[in-house]
Amino acid sequence: MANVSGHVVTNGSEEEDTQAGDGGIPPCFPVPLPKKRKLILHLDLNNTILVSDAATGQGPRAALNSYLSTVVWGRIGDTGEWQLVSDQPSVKPPCEDATNYYTYFGRDGNFVDGKIGQHFRGVFDDHMRLLEWPGKADKRFAQKGEDGKSYNWILPSFFHLLESLCLQQRQFCVILRTFGVDLPSVLRSVHAALQGEHPHFPQLKQMPLTADLTPGKIRCSKRDIVLTHGPDRVSTRPKERNVYQYFSCMEGIGGFQDHFDWWARNNFTASGGKPFWVDPTDCNTQHIIVDDNIRLGESDTIVNSRVLLDKEKGKESRKALTSELYDICLVQTDLLRAIAHKDYFLDCIRLCEENYEQYLRSFQVE
């Protein structure tokens, strides 16, 4: 996964994009396209590329119900009851004074069975059908639902992302990041897919991509942040950008378990969330993190965003509000779209890359 051996190395040269072959001709990557930055994609697991949660024992039905309860919006009406303000789920509030269902009532694994949730039964049923596994189930890629049916465990849009970036010959790395316990099994399944064993994505075997089966850990304290992976140990002391550089040098697909206890000790606020760095002076790399718990309110978001500064400024970094980096480097997962549209993650990357250009111009970085 990482081309490092106990220390941080510098980035290699950028590879060029190429177009995929047309029609039924196998891709041979012959057509050079303009160079693009290396992508470092930090992807959450639950409710981002998985619709389930081993830690809580949620299957796809409960997980999708729970997610829906976070994207349904209302307000307290004249009667003192919470009332819907929109019949369309959305990751962002449809109006200024709207609050999502789970803030008032908590995540609900049976959401569509309730009085309010029944309005979204059609949305729920449609996406459960889209999640169904076609054909004979493969236990490495399919999961049994609460109703006994087989469903995709890892979303097809994730595998389509890997295939598409390889066909474009993009230089990229995928870093799976989770507080949960699913990481080892997800890495094994992704590794199997890259060996050509996924029945719906056999062409992944032809892709120049490998998965590292050794999960790493990220642990936070008031003193520093420490990343460990196999023999590698990288700390933000004495240099905060050490972990950023380690991530930037990684290749292939790997994963890290983030520090849930630290997030809990910080009352589940951004200051205790998954550490994530952006360097506006790095013109060769763009980091993007996708997580369903990214939200615009700092008291209810999962990423601790830091913008690295020039040494001349005296400070190593500054805290960045979610609003500063939203849809630039921070993407709040729209799980319904990730289920329904195979290009969902590609569309997220495209938007972030466009917005990142404007963001860099604000720093007058060429």
Kindly list the domain boundaries of the chain, sorted by start residue: 38-50+154-362, 60-131
Question: Structure pTM?
Answer: 0.89
Question: Is residue 10 pLDDT above 60, yes or no?
Answer: no
Half-sphere exposure at residue 287, Cβ-oriented, CA atoms within 13 angstroms: 25
From the list 334, 358, 356, 278, the residue with the least C-alpha distance to 157 is: 334
Collect all residues with Cβ–Cβ distance below 8 Å to 280 and sequence separation of at least 6.
Answer: 307, 308, 359, 360, 363, 365
Whole-angstrom Cα distance, residue 268 to residue 258?
Answer: 13
From the list 358, 346, 332, the residue with the least C-alpha distance to 91 is: 332
Whole-angstrom Cα distance, residue 252 to residue 209?
Answer: 5
Question: Is residue 6 pLDDT above 60, yes or no?
Answer: no
Q: The tokens of 106 are what?
A: 């908590």
User: 297: pLDDT confidence band, cut at 50, 70 and 90?
Assistant: confident
Collect all residues with Cβ–Cβ distance below 8 Å to 139 and sequence separation of at least 6.
Answer: none
Burial class (CB in 10 A: 0-12, 13-18, 19+), 241: buried
Half-sphere exposure at residue 347, Cβ-oriented, CA atoms within 13 angstroms: 11
pLDDT for the residue 34: 53
Model pLDDT for residues 39-73, shown as the tens digit of each residue: 999 999 999 999 999 888 999 999 999 999 999 99
Collect all residues with Cβ–Cβ distance below 8 Å to 91 and sequence separation of at least 6.
Answer: 71, 332, 333, 334
